[in-house]
Amino acid sequence: MQRPALIDETDDGDAWCLPGARVAPPIPGAEAFSTSPLLTHLRAAAAADPKATALVGQSNSIQYGDMLRLAQNTAHAVANLAPPGRPVACLLPCTPEGITGLLGCLISGRLCLVLDPAMPPERLAALLADAVPAVILAAAPLKHPPAAPVLMLDTVLASSDADWRMGPDWNPDSPLAVHFTSGSSGRPKGIVLSSRSVLYRALDTNTAWGLTSADRVFCPSMPFAGSGLACLLGALSRGARVVLADLATEGAGAVLRLLEWEAVTCAMIQPPALRLLSSLERARTSFRALRALRSGASALTRADIAAWRLLLPPGCEILHTYASTEALIIAQWTLPADDRGPETTVAAGLRQALHEYALVGEDGRPAPPGEPGELVLRSRYLALGEWREGRLVPGAMRPVPGRSGWRFFRTGDLMLVQPDGMLRVLGRADRQVKINGVRVEPAEIEAVLRAEPAVTDAVVVARTVSGSVTLHGFVAATVEDRLELIRALRQRLSAALPMALRPADLTVLDRLPALPSGKIDLNALSRWDAAR
């Protein structure tokens, strides 16, 4: 029998139907919603009730009418400084004022680089140097003098009102925002999202939750993750109240008090943050109004689900979503209350409409029905590419010939189609892991470790215990004081990497174990770590 042909972006065979996989119902109105300007959605919500609270934080709030007015002022100021086609770096906190400024950048027609001002200054400076923004919108002075002019948020918000109009060349497939993730090349990777891709995920969330203006929405990853940005824009498009809180700076107790005070009804929280919040005594009271919870992970355990159901109100829906920054939604399903599958982890869910899926073996050919393979996607709702050295490049996103706006993406996720038609994640085809919902490429951490003068080589291995992933860094160095070297490495990691990318353990060895080929023996290090 002739073997199936290699599958690529030009193929239109049956492999793209993903035999046996069930497809989620199409999202009503997806095309119209995702191809309308964000400014149109914000204006409609503000017109419906300008006095309604749009954004609320620990100390203040902003109404829809004021939010729209201040966002338009910001758009006007940003557009005056940044030429079309040039990016604007937003270093704004997750506060009502910060989010309002971010919205202004998003409606300005300029590409918005979404940066967390709390990231290590050394990393932030490196990102700004590579991204080459035309202007930086910031709420506080920067520690490292940037090359681009800085526009202070309080000055913009206090400026005279301006009626902002979208330019005639606006396009839903133009770059809207860049979110930076860990990169396998040893440096961060900026994923460029279009308005179409972000608003498609926003509408999906709205539809899954049945969101209305009466809802109170919370998502701790907004706006610094692509999914968090989509959740924010979706809630605002429905006139809902968005509750803003930062777990890292405010603490879990303060966040729970705010959720309780605001009677949050819908939340999107990744498992690590949800485990932390759920461990506190007041969690049950803080979640008392919750009717819908969205969470996601490649290995979300049924033990987690069972523990959360003990805290959540009866009837609260739990929606599991599997996604990535390049593909803001890959699979999802609402977990039934009586789910008792034999596996320790839940399935990824149903494949989505308006996307084409295929499973590919190591040889590049379609995986036989029922067999695992790497998931490959095609869609016009995927990311546009990557932002490198101040310009958009395809990166891992390849155009699909003959289909305008469609892109082809190899996810790196190993999956299979279960007998019930659900997708199940088996692992990765590479070394990438996720920690606290953050993508982590060990190569980026290894590059920082190797920068220490005494280190001759370095490798990072991941271990998973009860659904939680931690990192262990091994370095090769011949030094007398290993503790002093570890202290120096800790300082270097803190200056260069966010918390999720810092190994929990560091070990100094004279040399790293090697395979006969000369490559580092990762399995030997993993066994050593497990035995320890």
In a domain, 392, yes or no: no
What is the rounded average pLDDT of the residues 443-464? 84
In a domain, 294, yes or no: no
Judge whether residue 520 has pLDDT over 80. no
In a domain, 500, yes or no: yes
pTM across the whole model: 0.86
Q: Are 37 and 166 in contact (CB under 8 A)?
A: yes
pLDDT score, position 531: 64
For the record, the structure tokens of 418 come out as 């279960």
Last residue of a domain, one of 132, 149, 170: 170
For the record, the structure tokens of 202 come out as 């926003």
Peptide bond preceding 313 in cis form (omega within 30 of 0): no
Find the CATH number of the domain harbouring 71: 3.40.50.980
What is the rounded average pLDDT of the residues 67-91? 93
Burial 362-392 (b: 16+ CB within 10 A, else e): eeeebbeeeebbbbbbbbbbbbbbbbbeeeb
Find the CATH number of the domain harbouring 468: 3.30.300.30
In a domain, 274, yes or no: no
Quote the Cα angle for 42-45-50, to 5°: 110
Judge whether residue 301 has pLDDT over 90. no
Quote the Cα angle for 148-154-155, to 5°: 70
Last residue of a domain, one of 153, 170, 187: 170
Q: Which of 258-262, 393-397, 438-442 has the highest mean pLDDT?
A: 258-262
Q: Give the Cβ contact number of residue 283 at 10 Å.
A: 20
Q: Give the Cβ contact number of residue 457 at 10 Å.
A: 16
What does each C-alpha distance from 258 to 56, 93, 264, 285 come to in angstroms? Answer: 9, 17, 9, 11
Residue 2: which pLDDT band, with cuts at 50, 70 and 90? very low
Last residue of a domain, one of 145, 170, 195: 170
Strands lying side by side in the sheet with 505-509 = 457-465, 468-476, 505-509
- Single out the residue of 68, 147, 86, 152 nearest to residue 117, CA to CA: 152
In a domain, 161, yes or no: yes
In a domain, 105, yes or no: yes
Judge whether residue 234 has pLDDT over 90. yes
Render pLDDT for 495-511 as a digit per residue (tens, 0 to 9): 888 888 889 889 998 88
Q: Please state the domain count of the chain.
A: 2
d(CA 341, CA 70): 50
- Single out the residue of 279, 335, 235 nearest to residue 287, CA to CA: 279
d(CA 119, CA 128): 12
Domain that holds residue 460: 441-531
Supply the mean pLDDT for the chain: 88
- Residues in Cβ contact with 313 at an 8 Å cutoff, skipping those fewer than 6 apart: 287, 288, 289, 290, 291
- Single out the residue of 232, 243, 231, 238 nearest to residue 212, CA to CA: 238
In a domain, 332, yes or no: no
Would strands 438-440 and 391-393 be described as parallel, antiparallel, or unpaired? unpaired
What is the rounded average pLDDT of the residues 178-183? 84
pLDDT score, position 488: 92
In a domain, 290, yes or no: no
